[in-house]
Amino acid sequence: MAGTDTSRARGVDRVIAIFRQLHIAQRPMTMRELIEATGAPRSSIYELVAILTDVGWLETSADGSVFFGREMHYYGSDYATHNDLISRAHLSILALVRKYDETTQLCMLEGNKYTVVLSESSARPFTISSDIGVRVPIPWTATGRLLLGHLNADEIRTLIPAEDFVLDNGVKIEFDEFYRDVQHAKDQGYCCTEGLSNAFRLCMAAPVRDRAGLPIAALCFMTSRDTGPERRAAMLDDLLQSAKALSHK
């Protein structure tokens, strides 16, 4: 019985690995790519893909590549509809995009990384966005600084891997500098970063709080550093008001 349970657990782990690799790739993958990415035996991946395709969780194209199936869309839609914060935040994001025509997102921490949960892009030719669900190092973002304010320095050191303090451009963020940013964001109740992970990017993040007052998510504007001071002030004010409205009273 123990051997059977172990085998089933391994099968579940491989299903999770398949889904995770497809999400990271953001495109259909060939069977060979899935096998190499997951490290699972060829026979196991073929068997699992066949089973998941039969139930609609995956779809296989004419060239044999594999991607998420229609059933997965239904499950995601159900989650978005019945999760109170997600459904309300989506309406707030749409309103902000309509008013300012700027990319707007709902962001959260996922373990020791940051991720975009909802995102609506502006209609302007110049847009800045991140893929939904892609896990990004916390120090690369304004949201990361904003959502760590309830932790002390030792807890933050334990949470964030050392390599995550190196930006995509190779620049290293010193821990003391990062911790000062976290404390500053906590004190002022929002966080803005410029040119951090992208030389042309301005990010504004406002906290969405739980009943205990702790930040559990953030509403964010992703825009250009060319944005003028009056427009910045107006955007930040609306962002703070929208995030406050989403917070638990």
- Beta strands, E only, the chain: 58-60, 66-68, 103-110, 113-120, 136-137, 191-194, 201-209, 215-224
Q: What is the pLDDT of residue 53?
A: 92
* 22 and 68 Cβ atoms separated by less than 8 Å: yes
Give 178-239 as a DSSP string: HHHHHHHHHHHT-EEEESSSSTTEEEEEEEEE-TTS-EEEEEEEEEETT--HHHHHHHHHHH
Q: What is the mean pLDDT of each run of 10 residues along the chain (249 residues)?
A: 60 89 88 92 91 92 90 82 83 94 91 89 56 85 91 95 90 93 94 81 92 92 90 95 90
User: Quick one: CA dihedral 8, 10, 12, 18, positive or negative?
Assistant: negative
pLDDT of residue 224: 87
Give the phi and the psi of residue 122 in degrees, each rounded to 5.
Answer: -80, 170
Whole-angstrom distance, CA of residue 33 vs CA of residue 15: 15
- What is the pTM assigned to this prediction? 0.73
How far is residue 41's CA from residue 159's CA, in Å, rounded to a whole number? Answer: 33
What domains can you pick out in the chain, each with its CATH number? 2-73 (1.10.10.10), 83-246 (3.30.450.40)
